[in-house]
Structure 1
Amino acid sequence: MAIRQLPETLINQIAAGEVIERPASAAKELIENAIDAGASRIEIATAGGGKSLLRIIDNGCGMGPGDLELAVRRHCTSKIDTGLDDIRTLGFRGEALPSIGSVARVQITSRTESADAGSEIRITGGKVEPVRPAGANKGTVVEVRDLFFATPARLKFLKTEKAEAAAVTEVVKRMAIAFPGIRFTLSGQDRTTLDFAGAGDDRLTRIAQVLGREFKDNAIEIDAEREDVALTGFAGLPTFNRGNSAHQYLFVNGRPVQDRQLLSALRAAYAETVPSGRHPVAVLWLTLDPALVDVNVHPAKSDVRFRDPGLVRGLLIGAIREALQRDGARASTTGASAMMQAFRPPGNSNGYGGGAPAYRASPNAGWSPQASPFRPLREDRSSGFAEALQAGFEAFAAPSARAETAESQPAPSPQAMPTAAGFHLGAARAQVHENYIVAQTDDGLVIVDQHAAHERLVFEAMREAMRSRRIPSQALLIPEIIDLPEEDCDRLMDHAQSLDQFGLAYERFGPGAIAVRETPAMLGEIDANGLIRQLADEIAEWDTSDTLASKLDHLAATLSCHGSVRSGRRLRPEEMNALLRQMEATPGSGQCNHGRPTYIELKLADIERLFGRS
């Protein structure tokens, strides 16, 4: 069979299969072009989820007739000259416009600031019409209609208009966060209008525009640097989590990426702090020399490759964990919001703003938790939680009063009661239902789950003990010989000394084999073969050895759960206050080993709203 060169149109359609997967892909490429052109305002309009219409308007530098003619040709670009080791723009491959033009109807109108008139070019299914004069403002307008009309088979793989519109929205949000100084407007017949006003250099303001104001109150600032790599941004509190990973935004040299290495490092940074099935919220920027990162891995440019992936992974994990230890021991505001919502009567969606209170109990109404329209936060755990809170409110309002429930102990006398001044978690005022500690703070109250809180304290103490000395090991009666590829044996031997600290001792056993002689005593009887192979795979991918540490941490978490203060145990006032002081001094005490919150904080203003006083 004779070899022949494919037609240019077919080449572009093949390229479109990689570059343009859906309307959101086209939107991403066109928005990147607008940003590279220096636009300060970008307007995006869609119809039919972007399948019928996708229009991008920018006020960038614009293009003249000659540039327009070249822009729709494959591999024509103004962004690089010769090499790929110093890419400082979002686009550089010169594939987007010809790829889109090969599968859609495209019209591009543009004018430079110095030109008296604009120019226009049209492409229909890969057929390019000559450039002609057109009226235009400074900047560029790209209008894409009937996407994939030239390749009907691709239309079958698209989702519903609503899903495609949502994907375009997500692209715009990521770009808006990446470039807070640019104003983005997203509108169309298939959506409500989004308008992200320019926020200058204030990243947090732009993030709040996109993710909501709650993020600002539940985020910790990240600012770290290691060698030639800098990491900045904001990481959400562990208890401020979501049901999916859609609220994780990562940027490398300003480029939005969805790289699996970085996402894996983010998950590892929040290990044992976020519940299973939940995902942290984070917005992070990595800045490094362009020569140290390859952005030319895939035509979509969402994956990157680092020259030193271990350095980047270690920086991300270390910086987030350090930030959580430094400033993460506070409850997220969502806990208080959930409590306020739980006390809202059924059918009331007006909140606790102005006007009449949502519920007002008469002094002679014979109030009881069963008769109240309010319901406990978790009815399956404590059917009398509202009654417990009532006791806590009484203790808060009158510190000398006795906060009693059916089996709770009296509060200490006024003379013996400690002050709340200066303590973030305040001073204990009562223990209710023998599991919840009610503490008074300077500006509100805190409700602590004593079992969850002490479980975290014990876990951290055990983990610190493991770090300070070699983990005790148990010698195998007969060393276990494990056959492995030679390269895996070499990698394992490079980490033999560090793994020995965890009680795992092994050595080379001839070519292509490892002899395991000792395993961590804490793990009991384990599958040494499976553990070694898993470590080899992990080291090959990340050049780290976190798997064993994770297993030991999991065991420590299990032991601490069984060794902590149990629910139903009465605590003396000094024990309750000691627990509060330990929580304040322990990193990560805002959530238990399973990622659930250990306490909920209510401000005085929230309490007054509950009683209709505001």
Structure 2
Amino acid sequence: MPIKELPETLINQIAAGEVIERPASAAKELIENAIDAGATRIEIATSGGGKSLLRVIDNGSGMNSADLALAVRRHCTSKLDSGLDDIRTLGFRGEALPSIGSVAKLTITSRMRDADGAEISVNGGKLTPIRPAGTNPGTRVEVRDLFFATPARLKFLKSEKAENAAITEVVRRMAIAFPHVHFVLSGSDRNTLDLPATGDDHLARIAQILGREFRENAIEINAERDDVTLSGYAGIPTFNRGNAAHQYAFVNGRPVQDKQIMSALRAAYAETVPSGRYPVAVLSITIDPALVDVNVHPAKSDVRFRDPGHIRGLMIGAIREALAREGSRASTSAASAMMSAFRPGFSPRATAPHWSPQTSPYRPYSQPSFDEPVTEAQAPFAAFSAPSARAEDIPQTEVPTTPSPTGMNLGAVRAQLHENYIVAQTGDGLVIVDQHAAHERLVFEAMRKAMNEKRIPSQVLLIPEIVDLPEEDCDRLMEHAEALEQFGLTYERFGPGAIAVRETPAMLGEIDANGLIRQLADEIAEWDTASALSKRLEYLAATMACHGSVRSGRRLKLEEMNALLRQMEATPGSGQCNHGRPTYIELKLSDIEKLFGRS
């Protein structure tokens, strides 16, 4: 067949297939144009999930008649002065408006300040002449009957509710990236979303999107390495979600959904967030435009870094450093869930007298102080003593009133409930600690520190523990015997289908070597290769820590429980166990008062 040039309308429709996949794609392109035009207020209206109507109005710089004529032609743009190596705007391809016009009914009305307004229309690729129009300064773009010129594309669109949700997500991402812009999303098919500008208070804008709870559980991220800056906020590990929908990434202000960035985020939380759960984060990377290619995808949702390893290292290092800086902090959502789980025995009357801590005869204690240093015997890997006091036998000593110089915040132990939960009193509430989860985290951190410094000390078993396993599991374990010896775990073959454990990590004390070996065999079988195992050494340390931690159902002495709390306060990341669950829950006095109708 002879080669021939395609008609302009067909060329635009092909381009639309790459750039405009659904109404949300059109909304993204139009909002980007408005932001590039310097708008400080952007109003988006939809109908029929954006298929019947999508309208975007901005107060940006606007266009004159000559600009309008070029705006609906392909490869015409005002945003590309220095080539693809120095892209500093959101849009630059010059394909969005002609692509939309080729598959929908497009009308653009615009006016520059101190100039007359003008309007142009494109219906399924057919251009109508420019005409005068009265309008406010800025631009109004109206898209009706999206994909009417390509009916086959309509069959692939989802329900109106799903398309509305996709548009909302686009607006949310843009709002986070540009807090100085006021966004309003409305329409006959949705509730109005009004996001006033927050200026330089980026966290306030994020709270508009992710809720006040994120603000209470967010850690500020601010790091720089070799002229690459990482900023934003990351949630503490126990503040996690069931999917990745609450993870936002930006590169030079551009919202992206880049696999490299999301992979680095997962790696940063690998030890602290359980499988199947996802951290919440809003992260922004600022980099020289010459070092990143934003032109790898027609919709500009992916980027390509010249040195992806550098970006990954910066992200993982900065997030882990921030998590360590927060120490034992736990999520406030755990306390909220606990509050909602309480079932009061009665409903307080509306006429109940007002109550406050100042007027109550039962005034709260002052902030406790713990000035004695943690001794060697109180270290997290020290052996706990035999069962001793019951909860009711713990002496009710006075809480010291002298402020602690080291900022101890987990309080003084008051009871142990059900041989697993430690109840401590703080200056303004109480803390409930899961003793197994807390000790597990402390042992893990101690093992990781020892592993980084040298081989973990081991203890020789008087009688080797013989573990019967399938032959293939024995083979896998022997392949990695040298790596596991770094943890103080030494074993060897003991005939066919058996492993003899001769040494175990000394810091774990007396452990179930049989159960530990079987679990390690299962995990190595899942990873299969030595290279994968080398990357998961810390995960193996977490597995061993679980086997070496103080168990549920163990009664502890008062000094043991207080020592555990002091170690938690001094250990980074102790607010969650190795599986990402919270190690303690804090209830403020005001929360307790609410339960009894006192506030």
TM-score, normalised to structure 1, is 0.79
Aligned to 1:245: 244
Is residue 57 of structure 2 the alignment partner of residue 54 of structure 1? no
What's the counterpart of residue 448 of structure 2? 463
* Superposed displacement of residue 81, structure 1: 2.6
Corresponding residue of 1:374:
none
The residue number in structure 1 matching 2:474 is none
Residue 131 of structure 1: aligned partner = 130
User: In the alignment, which residue of structure 2 is the partner of 1:94?
Assistant: 94
Q: Call closer, same or farther: CA 1:398–1:218 in 2, change over 3 Å.
A: closer
Distance 2:547 2:351 in 1: 47
Counterpart of 1:411 (choices 365, 376, 394) is 394
Counterpart of 1:583 in structure 2 is 568
Aligned length: 511
The aligned counterpart of 1:336 is 335
Partner of 1:598: 583
Alignment partners' CA distance in 1, 2:484 and 2:119: 68
Answering whether residue 22 of structure 2 is matched by residue 22 of structure 1, we say: yes
One-letter code aligned to 2:582: P
Task: Give matches, 1:41-120, under 5 Å.
Answer: 41-115=41-115, 117-120=116-119
1:452 equivalent in alignment to 2:452: no
Shift of residue 397, structure 1, vs aligned partner: 8.4
**Higher alpha-carbon deviation: 326-335 or 96-105:** 326-335
CA RMSD of aligned residues (A): 2.8
Identity of aligned residues (%): 73
Q: Secondary structure at the match of 2:393?
A: coil
- State yes or no: 1:221 paired with 2:206: no
Deviations 1:74-120 (A, max 9, x none): 010000035100000000000100111111000000000020x2110
Q: Distance in 2 between matches of 1:570 and 1:52?
A: 67
Aligned-partner SS, 2:536: helix
Q: How does 1:202-351 map to 2 (within 5 A)?
A: 202-344=201-343
CA distance in structure 2 between the partners assigned to 1:124 and 1:175 by the alignment: 28
List gaps (5 residues or longer) in structure 1: 358-393, 400-405, 474-498, 504-520, 536-546
Q: Deviations over 1:545-590 (max 9, x none)?
A: xx44442222211111111010011111111111001111111101
- How far apart are residue 408 of structure 1 and its match? 3.3
Q: Is the 8 A contact 1:85 1:290 kept in 2?
A: yes
Task: Read off the aligned partner of 2:419 and give its amino acid letter.
Answer: E
Cα displacement string for residues 187-232 of structure 1 (whole angstroms, at most 9, x for unaligned residues): 0011100111011111011111111111111000011011110001
Letter in 2 for 1:70: L
Distance 2:344 2:162 in 1: 34
Question: Which residue does 1:152 correspond to in 2?
Answer: 151
Deviation at 1:145, TM superposition (A): 0.4
Alignment of structure 1 residues 543-554 onto 2, 5 Å? 547-554=532-539
For the structure 1 residues 32 and 242, does the alpha-carbon distance in structure 2 shift closer, same or farther, using more than 3 Å as the test? same
The runs of at least 4 aligned residues of structure 1 exceeding 2 Å deviation read 344-348, 354-357, 394-399, 406-409, 417-422, 469-473, 499-503, 521-530, 547-551
Deviation at 1:355, TM superposition (A): 3.7
Question: 1:419 deviation in Å?
Answer: 6.4
Residue 6 of structure 1 aligns to which amino acid in structure 2? L
Superposition map of 1:162-177 within 5 A: 162-177=161-176
Contact 2:396 2:414 in 1 (8 A): no
CA contact (8 A) 1:249 1:282 kept: yes
Given residue 112 of structure 2, which amino acid in structure 1 is its aligned partner? T
Q: Which moved more, 1:237-246 or 1:167-176?
A: 237-246
List per-residue Cα deviations over 1:339-358 (Å, max 9, x = no partner): 1101146999xxx9x9478x
Tell me if the contact between 1:297 and 1:303 (Cα under 8 Å) persists in the aligned partners. yes
Question: TM-score, normalization: structure 2?
Answer: 0.81
Partner of 2:142: helix, strand, or coil? strand
d(CA) in 2 for partners of 1:199, 1:155: 38
Distance change (3 Å), C-alpha of 1:468 and 1:216: same
**Which stretches in structure 2 are left out of the alignment for 5+ residues?**
353-361, 368-388, 459-482, 488-504, 506-516
Between the aligned partners of 1:346 and 1:126, the Cα distance in structure 2 is 69
Shift, 1:410, TM fit? 1.3
1:468 is matched by which residue type in structure 2?
E
Amino acid at match of 2:417: V
1:254 is displaced (CA, Å) by 0.4
**Distance in 2 of aligned mates of 1:171 and 1:137:** 25
Mapped contact 1:502–1:548 kept (Cα < 8 A):
no
